[in-house]
Amino acid sequence: MEEAETVLVPSVEAAPLPCVEIVVEELAVRSTRGYCTYTW
């Protein structure tokens, strides 16, 4: 059975590999945060 884990990363460029999916939320004009989803 696959298990998905979502990890908060400071930026998309800083996301560790492998990343199945990266979701970026616009928090402010100059601020973004990314979520890296892993599937084990």
Whole-model pTM above 0.75?
Answer: no
Distances (CA, A) of 25 to 1, 3, 18, 34: 29, 23, 20, 6
Alpha carbon distance 39, 8 (integer Å): 15
Average pLDDT of the segment spanning 22-36? 54
> Residue 4: pLDDT above 50?
yes
Between 2 and 32, residue with greater pLDDT:
2
